[in-house]
């Protein structure tokens, strides 16, 4: 959520963000919002006057004789009639205004490229040598089948499409990747944390997810206000809601582990084969709370960690600066890191990191005091994928496959795989 005071002062900047993000300006109407806001402020002012009058008269009642008292009470009742109506208007205006206010996306960083879809994201760097094979490389679905490590067919019996079982070395890899991420990020000051896999609507909304309605991306739990989380960003972000930090406790960095559940409604089509777009996966997520002036630096720090992890694994990748039209509403700027996936001879997103500035902190009410006696400001919040297990598995299987259908396990994971260094072909 943006600061309404900022919207009042800089409506053009907000409009530009909406336009560049290719959002529906009819629906997300800044002028209408400001109009409602003006009316709300007028009503607020009037209500204040009336309440002031009421309070003054009310407090005098005690001292008055019975005769006068009746008269004044009637007078106050008259004020109350008008006040009740204005308070009703005030509430309606505030509700309508806030609905619109919450639809506004974050501002855009200066260096966010123009563009409508992910095809217009701009490559900013790349790393690693693309593998060459003297055989026809298999994709991860085929590899998962012949090594008996990923089973989609049987999962379909239990949960339907886009679920899977991991078996044998894939399970080792899942656990090893989590341990690998921890081992790498612990010395960097990240606090490991496991979180609930569910969260309340209030928290989902605070982070910028729609918990209900046609645009929701999450599973709801019946007869509760809970949803399965799509990322630990939600639960780690909600962790400190309502709190005020001393500046010297920031930045605060977490490495959150959770399962991620996504309905992926309407996302079927290309790029949805195999593990790429599934309803459940495990993820290690970096999450940083910091001071306002520090967030750009923290964003680069998270990105550097994401790159370091892929480099240690030996997976070729490129970094793209996500264009305005492909950015999520809470993000001021986002990098996607795309690993090379030989199964489709293309790069595919494996991690991303977003600078959400104070957009999430405002609704979650997470603040800090820049100085001990200063008024609190909202913290800046950033998130980035350390390891998304499912997509990392794609990259590992496809990049490290051999002609005989076996797969070598990256050296960086050997300390965590119980001595297992390769995945044998079983068919």
Catalytic residues: 262, 277, 349, 352, 391
User: CB 373 → RNA: shortest distance, Å?
Assistant: 5
Burial label, 55 (beta-carbon count in 10 A; 0-12, 13-18, 19+): exposed
Interface with RNA, residue 157, by CB under 7 A: no
Residue 372: CA count within 13 A, CB half-sphere: 0
Count of helices and strands (H, E) across the chain: 12, 17
Show contacts with RNA in window 233-262 (CB under 7 A). Answer: 244
Of 34, 57, 103, 425, the residue at the interface with RNA (CB under 7 A) is 57
Show contacts with RNA in window 374-413 (CB under 7 A). Answer: 375-376
Residue 111: CA count within 13 A, CB half-sphere: 9
Interface with RNA, residue 129, by CB under 7 A: no
User: CB 104 → RNA: shortest distance, Å?
Assistant: 16
Q: In this chain, which stretch among 39-47, 187-195, 299-307, 323-331 interacts with RNA, using CB under 7 A?
A: 39-47
Of 25, 31, 58, 221, the residue at the interface with RNA (CB under 7 A) is 58
Residue 398 CB neighbours (<10 A): 26
Interface with RNA, residue 223, by CB under 7 A: no
User: CB 81 → RNA: shortest distance, Å?
Assistant: 10
Burial label, 65 (beta-carbon count in 10 A; 0-12, 13-18, 19+): exposed
The answer to whether 121 and 334 have CB atoms below 8 angstroms apart is no
Residue 263 CB neighbours (<10 A): 15
Q: In this chain, which stretch among 24-32, 72-80, 153-161, 284-292 interacts with RNA, using CB under 7 A?
A: 72-80
Interface with RNA, residue 45, by CB under 7 A: yes
User: CB 229 → RNA: shortest distance, Å?
Assistant: 16
Instruction: Estimate to the nearest angstrom the gap between the alpha carbon of 161 and the chain centroid.
Output: 25
Interface with RNA, residue 20, by CB under 7 A: no
Q: Which is nearer to RNA, 68 or 300 (CB)?
A: 68
Interface with RNA, residue 51, by CB under 7 A: yes
Which residues have CB under 8 Å from 178's CB, separation 6+? Answer: 257, 282, 284, 387, 389
Interface with RNA, residue 78, by CB under 7 A: no
The answer to whether 296 and 353 have CB atoms below 8 angstroms apart is no
User: CB 307 → RNA: shortest distance, Å?
Assistant: 38
Of 55, 85, 95, 194, the residue at the interface with RNA (CB under 7 A) is 55
Of 5, 157, 270, 427, the residue at the interface with RNA (CB under 7 A) is 5
Q: What are phi and psi of 44, to 5 degrees?
A: -60, -45
The answer to whether 169 and 150 have CB atoms below 8 angstroms apart is no
Interface with RNA, residue 48, by CB under 7 A: yes
Closest CA to 396 of 139, 129, 132, 136: 139
The residues binding RNA (CB under 7 A) are 4-5, 41, 44-45, 47-49, 51-52, 54-59, 61-62, 73, 76-77, 80, 91, 244, 372-373, 375-376
């Amino acid at each position: 959520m943006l600061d309404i005071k900022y919207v009042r002062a800089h409506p053009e900047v907000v409009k530009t963000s909406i336009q560049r993000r290719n959002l529906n300006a009819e629906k997300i109407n800044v002028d209408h919002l400001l109009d409602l806001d003006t009316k709300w402020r007028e009503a607020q002012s009037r209500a204040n006057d009336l309440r002031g009058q009421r309070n003054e008269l009310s407090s005098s009642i005690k001292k008055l004789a019975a005769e006068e008292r009746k008269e004044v009470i009637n007078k106050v009742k008259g004020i109350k009639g008008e006040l009740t109506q204005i308070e009703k208007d005030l509430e309606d205006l505030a509700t309508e205004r806030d609905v619109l206010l919450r639809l506004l996306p974050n501002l855009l960083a200066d260096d966010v490229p123009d563009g409508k879809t992910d095809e217009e994201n701009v490559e900013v760097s790349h790393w690693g040598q693309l593998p060459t094979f003297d055989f026809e490389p298999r994709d991860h679905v085929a590899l998962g089948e012949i090594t008996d490590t990923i089973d989609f067919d049987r999962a379909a019996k239990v949960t339907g499409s886009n679920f899977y079982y991991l078996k044998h070395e894939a399970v080792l890899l899942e656990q090893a990747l989590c341990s690998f991420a921890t081992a790498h990020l612990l010395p960097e000051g990240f606090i490991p944390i496991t979180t609930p896999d569910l969260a309340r609507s209030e928290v989902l909304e605070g982070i910028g997810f729609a918990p209900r309605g046609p645009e929701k991306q999450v599973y709801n739990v019946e007869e509760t206000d809970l949803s399965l989380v799509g990322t630990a960003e939600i639960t780690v972000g909600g962790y400190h809601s309502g709190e005020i930090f001393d500046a010297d406790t920031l930045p605060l960095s977490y490495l959150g582990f959770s399962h991620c559940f996504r309905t992926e409604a309407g996302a079927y089509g290309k790029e949805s084969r195999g593990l790429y777009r599934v309803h459940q996966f495990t993820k290690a997520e970096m999450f940083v709370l910091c001071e306002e002036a520090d967030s750009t630096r923290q964003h680069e720090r998270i990105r550097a960690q994401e790159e370091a992890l892929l480099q240690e694994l030996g997976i070729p990748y490129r970094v793209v600066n996500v264009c305005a039209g492909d950015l999520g509403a809470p993000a001021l700027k986002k990098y996607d890191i795309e690993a090379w996936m030989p199964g489709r001879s293309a790069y595919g997103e494996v991690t991303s990191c977003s600078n959400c500035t104070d957009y999430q902190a405002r609704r979650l009410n997470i603040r800090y005091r820049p100085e001990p006696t200063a008024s609190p400001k909202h913290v800046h919040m950033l998130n980035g994928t350390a390891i998304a297990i499912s997509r990392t598995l794609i990259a590992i299987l496809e990049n490290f496959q051999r002609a005989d259908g076996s797969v070598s396990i990256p050296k960086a994971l050997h300390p965590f795989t119980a001595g297992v260094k390769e995945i044998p072909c079983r068919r």
